Homo-oligomer: A and B are copies of this chain.
Amino acid sequence: MNKHGLEMKYNTASKDELQRELAALEKKYNEYKAMGLKLDMSRGKPDCNQLNLSEGLLTAVSTSEECFTDAGVDCRNYGLPDGIPEIRKIFSDLFEIPAANIIISGPSSLRLMFDTVARNMIFGVSEGAKPWGAQGKIKFLCPVPGYDRHFAICEIFGIEMINIPMTPTGPDMDMIEKLASSDPQIKGIFCVPKYSNPTGITFSEETVRRFASLKTAAPDFRIFWDNAYAIHNLYDEGDKLLNLFDEAKAAGNPDIAYIFASFAKISFSGGGVSMFASSNANIDFARKIISMQTICCDKVNQLRHARFFKNAEGVLAHMKLHAALIRPKFEAVLEIFGRELTPCGIANWTKPNGGYFISLDLPEGTAKRTYDLAKAAGVTLTNVGATFPYGRDEKDCNLRIAPTFPTIDDLVKAAEVMCVCAKIADVEKLLAE
């Protein structure tokens, strides 16, 4: 017998067995409910201990004399709209993209993505290109399950979203190639290519190469490559992602890729630095417009990062400290899922080597009920549907688990509650059939 129920595969159990299981689960559930829990597994936020790792960042630039770049530029004053050379070099080394192809911005790479869509809507993708906003209804391809904030950007700009199923090697490339090559209204795709949000999948070499050489009906199609978890390994042996910048260039398709990254989950989520990288043509065009938008970003904070991390190796070493803190959390959740859900045969989930999420697929039609039960017991999960465009998970089966923020004790409790809720939802469903 497992901890919170009988040892049985639900879909082969008799109604009687299921009735007894339900009674046992409800007893357990009511015990949890009585605890007055207040637990949150909803957002991919670093926890306090992770943030403490960057305490040295706060004092990395402490005096007026320290506010100057190596070349003597005063970071407190206007200037260097592309960012200071020191931080551009760190991003360049980490992402293996020439510094000349990198623009550094404030804390939020999401803002860079939003602004890039906004620029393309108003100004088009290049000098003389027709603005996306002047081309009627445009469309984006959306790997699902995916990142809710990507979908939100598309939605607010009125961009129609087309679901593309994720596979273990990335989004379904056959489907992407077929659609992108046939419909000129399809202008782009948002991807999280490494430790994807929420599946944790890293795109295979073949997937990246097919993206790099994608033939699109729209000349102004762009890949929004949100490399948010590029160095966010949970284990020493991280997944390897092929470099889209190089591959696109080699394929004679350099302008197809916009690459984004940030330090939001390296230093401070509300105080990092971010990167926009692309081909010479794309960067030159973006720079021209960005230079009208702002004189410069916060260079003092860029310098703090450069001084604190020193170089790319410093950043990678720092990420091992993060991994040591959050790996046990991922493993605890996976252990509980294995113990509680495997025996009942009711769920599938990903076992990521990095990133911030576990994607849990429950039996169809039970995710929302699981969410509601958990909520009533004081456990907040990511909204069901959030991982799909328009918030619509047609099968009502996917839950995104964000294990990093809670303490491990809270997390274990939350995962156990969630498993009981998922089991109740499934048993209820089976009994109603």
Binding site for B on A (CB under 8 A): 43, 45-46, 48, 51-52, 54-55, 58-59, 61-64, 66-67, 74-80, 106-108, 110-111, 114-115, 118, 121-123, 133, 149, 152-153, 156-157, 268-271, 289, 292-301
Contact = CB atoms under 8 A, between A and B. Distances in A.
A48 B74 contact: yes
Instruction: Name the 6 nearest CB pairs between A and B, nearest first.
Output: A271-B300, A76-B268, A114-B293, A111-B294, A108-B294, A51-B76
Given A270-B297, A270-B300, A271-B300, A156 B292 contact: yes
B153 A292 contact: yes
Given A79-B270, A107-B298, A271-B301, 7 more contacts: A45-B78, A51-B76, A58-B66, A77-B268, A77-B269, A110-B293, A156-B292
20 contacts: A45-B77, A45-B78, A48-B64, A55-B64, A59-B59, A76-B270, A79-B270, A106-B297, A106-B298, A107-B296, A108-B294, A108-B297, A110-B293, A114-B294, A118-B118, A123-B156, A152-B292, A153-B292, A270-B295, A271-B299
Contacts of A149: 292, 295
A79 B297 CA distance: 20
Given A51-B67, A106-B106, A271-B299, A115 B74 contact: no
A355 to B, nearest CB: 16
A180 to B, nearest CB: 24
Contacts of A52: 64
Given A55-B64, A62-B58, A64-B52, A297 B107 contact: yes
Given A294-B114, A295-B108, A271 B62 contact: no
A274 to B, nearest CB: 10
Nearest to A113: B293
Contacts of A301: 271, 298, 301
Given A61-B58, A153-B292, A75 B271 contact: yes
A54 B61 CA distance: 13
Contact of A114 (B45, B108, B292, B300): B292
Contact of A43 (B59, B78, B118): B78
A299 B107 CA distance: 10
Contacts of A296: 107-108, 269-270
Contacts of A59: 59, 62
A5 B90 CA distance: 56
Contacts of A80: 270
Contacts of A300: 58, 268, 270-271
A114 B293 CA distance: 5
